[in-house]
Chains A and B, each alone.
Chain A
Amino acid sequence: MKIAKILGTAALVSTLGVQAYAAPGAKDVLTTYADIAHAGYEDSLITAKKLQSAIDALIAQPSAETFGAAKSAWLAARVPYQQTEVYRFGNAIVDDWEGKVNAWPLDEGLIDYVETGLYGEESEENPAYTANVIANPSLNISGTTIDALIIDAALLEDLHEIDDVESNVATGYHAIEFLLWGQDLNGTDAGAGAREWTDYATGDACTNDNCDRRGAYLKAAGELLVSDLEWISEQWADGGEARETVLEGDGVPGLTAIVTGMGSLSYGELGGERTKLGLLLHDPEEEHDCFSDNTHNSHFYDALGIQNVYLGRYTRVDGSVVEGPALSDLVAAKDAALDTELRGKLATSVLAGKAMVTRAQGGEHFDQLIAMGNDDGNAVVQTFVDALVDQTKSIEQIIAAVGIDGIEFEGSDSLDNPSAVN
């Protein structure tokens, strides 16, 4: 089966005879899918623990160096995590959980000081808008007093999505990102958030007040991220619920999960809401990873994750490779031309994502690429959107090719997922 895939053009395959065509069993494909998930979440956990150590070092000895090291650790932690996003759609257990670690957008005013002129001082649909946990040992939210004297993981869990307002993101990668970078006040011009290390300094060196509470928040958010990633990683280990669920039955639910995840992330979520909308409106508010200006990477690794799942191959953070029978093999056995087509399109979108990374490395980040008047930059982003839309069309054809029906591609919170929304 691996041979068929390696040689996978229609012309070559046709010379190999029927035996080389034998499709892998659905269970084998799904095992690879679960193995990659487990490896991806385990890598996310490993890198999150490094981030946690970096945060501890920052708090123990605040300095430009320890602050920079924490930011580097955050960026490194995003690499494996973004590659797991393709698991979110189609796997209810992941979708239910992911808001704790990756919810976006953020009402950053809940967490720490913000530039009020930019941000507005109240939000009627979100009473926690200026609650600012770091500055307030006691919070009054919708008539309920919350004791925030001690900032720890338990408090953050309580605060997360209080009042059923989804943008009260108090935990996860983006909360940590905000605490490390601060607001990006540069619009579509160059520059990310510019928080200084002295926001964590002790004594008189402390800027913007409450450095100790800010450090406590950062530490608690890091702890929660690690424990949340530990949990999801276990779900994909042998005997874990997520793995068991995709392996259940005749394989159709599992294959449905794979295709739903690939299509939904490609189309409504990554191609649409996270990329096309910001481009259309030339608006950096629509940017993902906006505090750190890391959107190019989060988009690129999202696209790579889609390709990983289809090809059944994931390169871990330590350089080792997890691979096995893949959906690609299954499709190739039924419709070699479709498989070739989709592999080509996935490569195109990854390449288009890479082009944004290259621009960022050259100093032109995603928020600048989508700026009005930057026609050349806009075109780079549009190419990425087009590639994602194009691959979604081929992904839809998998449904017929492998005999699973009625898969829905959407994105974000409106994904039709009764178990998640009831």
Chain B
Amino acid sequence: MALNGGGFSLPPFCFYNNHKTKIVMKRFVPALRHLALSGLAVMTVSALIPTAFAQQVDDPAFPGGNTSWPNADGRNVFTHYSANMTFEKRLDFKLGEALFQRLWVTAPTRTKTADGLGPLFNSRACNGCHIRNGRGHPVDDNNPEEGATSMLLRLSIPPQTAGQLRDHLDGKIATIPDPVYGGQFQDFSVAGINAEGRVKVSYENIDVTLSDGDIITLQKPDYQMTDLAYGPLHPDVMVSPRLAPPMIGLGLLEAIPDELLLARADPQDADGDGISGRVNHVWDIAKGQLAIGRFGWKAGMPSLDQQNQNAFQFDVGLSTPLYPDGSGDCTSAQTACLNAPNGNDPEFENLEAHSQVTDLVLYYTRNLAPPVRTNADDADVVAGQKIFDSIGCASCHTPRYQLPERTDMTEQSGQVIWPYSDLLLHDMGEGLADHRPEAQASGREWRTPPLWGLGLAKQIDPRAGFLHDGRARTILEAVLWHGGEAEPARHSVTMLPPSERRKLLAFLKSL
């Protein structure tokens, strides 16, 4: 797949607008610009138009199918809309983006739709943590004053009462919050309210020796909450650090039918390959019933809308249609927080982030396009992909899905996508365990994260970290942290001859 010069492929996407002229969707835009700037002939419009609209691309170099953004340059590479989006919808995308970047302010203000922040919060804006929509970075142990800027700590305790236990077993509540600090540790707050404390990290080094004698030093984080403003945490508190995940392709993941996930699940490892794979069942607030979880590091959220609104509520402290509480994650033990003014406004559904806001943000987050892979055809990359398959990585990192046709999500409809994930829970071993169950996910289980865009992480944020808490500084470190069901695959990686390991990494970086 040569995108610059040479074997220029025909872009499969174009659409008929309401006028007579066919318009090529903005595929290969920068490539064309590049061609133009290099003085090469620019292709005529007719040469670029194969057939009308619905031709679906089925090519691993286009991870998002027809939604794939045609250019993988720059640090804004994860900020582009689905490439097959119509002209009209692009305005909604832009509005959603503006809201994603909005700085929320303390209630009450005259700006009724922008207030309601907190009182406790992790960030004043979505993009405060989702930096250019890429991966977050871990807390900087050399600069502890900075705090947690693109990650946070989830808190919970074991069920304490029969009622809590029943609701937990029924799936109605995924976790029991800390009675004082709530479900999440917020290290920021509005004026007049104390933040809950500070987040610090220290690391223990662990050396791993590879087949060729190379030693890779892993860092195991130990997160601490200090300067606690509301007294001690519950003695049995369980803590799970969570990094802001990359935002691309979320609408495509949402469009994978439940049946395809269930088909890959093998909770009892009936096929004896050592890989179980379980779906998480979580409470779908909008539907009022259990549903398959697919978003979040432990697949704790059933839909992108609920995921977004949960983040509005707990990370930013805003009420939403699904989470109408204007005081966010304040607990009954935090009375000043509970009594602080909120931004719920009768003019706007009695909410802070009302449905117009959450709908636009939903559309935006559904349509952040995975970029094309520019070197998927390199010999090393192709060889690395074969190694990836042969040592079992693809058992969980499922490469390809054919999405069904659907009328409600037109950009995602019918696409062939390459996320490299089964979205299922797997036991990842003691090294990665957070010992904090979430709904039906155990303290050792994590959802297979999609790998698309993996190689672009550092291009977006040089400090970006890998894995749920950002502990891995490189892709190889992330691989070496794999344990549990992935232990055989990890072992294979350590035993690979260096040249083969280099090819495997070339493949991973090409994603």
Contacts and interface: CB of A to CB of B under 8 A. Distances in A.
B79 A268 contact: no
B357 interface: yes
Interface stretch (B31-39, B50-58, B206-214, B236-244): B31-39
A249 B36 contact: yes
Contacts of A404: 36, 42
B112 interface: yes
Contacts of B121: 124
B30 interface: yes
A407 B90 CA distance: 14
A143 B146 CA distance: 9
Contacts of A280: 95, 356
A289 interface: no
B124 interface: yes
A103 to B, nearest CB: 14
B32 A406 contact: yes
9 contacts: A117-B106, A124-B124, A253-B36, A268-B90, A396-B17, A400-B22, A409-B90, A420-B74, A422-B75
Interface in B304-344: none
Nearest to A255: B36
B98 A249 contact: no
A134 to B, nearest CB: 20
B109 interface: yes
Contact of B29 (A283, A397, A408): A408
B358 to A, nearest CB: 12
B188 interface: yes
A284 B74 CA distance: 33
A217 B74 CA distance: 35
Contacts of B146: 142
A272 B30 contact: no
Interface residues on A, range: 35 or more
Contacts of A389: 88, 91
Among A271, A405, A416, find the residue whose CB has the most chain B CB atoms closer than 10 A: A405
A116 B191 contact: yes
Interface of B: 17-19, 21-24, 26-33, 36-37, 39, 42-45, 48, 71, 73-76, 79-80, 87-88, 90-91, 94-95, 97-99, 103, 105-106, 109-114, 117, 121-125, 128, 143, 145-147, 149, 187-188, 190-191, 347, 356-357
A276 B91 contact: yes
Interface stretch (A27-35, A180-188, A323-331): A180-188
B337 to A, nearest CB: 15
A397 B19 contact: yes
Given A124-B124, A406-B27, A416 B356 contact: no
B42 A411 contact: no
Contacts of A392: 87
Where chain B touches its partner, the secondary structure class is loop
A121 interface: yes
Interface string A214-235: 0000000000000000000000
Contacts of B114: 281, 283, 285
Nearest to B125: A125
Nearest to A127: B146
B112 A277 contact: no
Contact of A400 (B45, B71, B79): B45
Contacts of A393: 17-19, 87
Contacts of A167: 103
A141 to B, nearest CB: 11
A186 B110 CA distance: 7
A396 B147 contact: no
Interface in A386-406: 389, 392-393, 396-397, 399-401, 403-406
B134 to A, nearest CB: 13
A11 interface: no
A167 B122 CA distance: 19
B94 A273 contact: yes
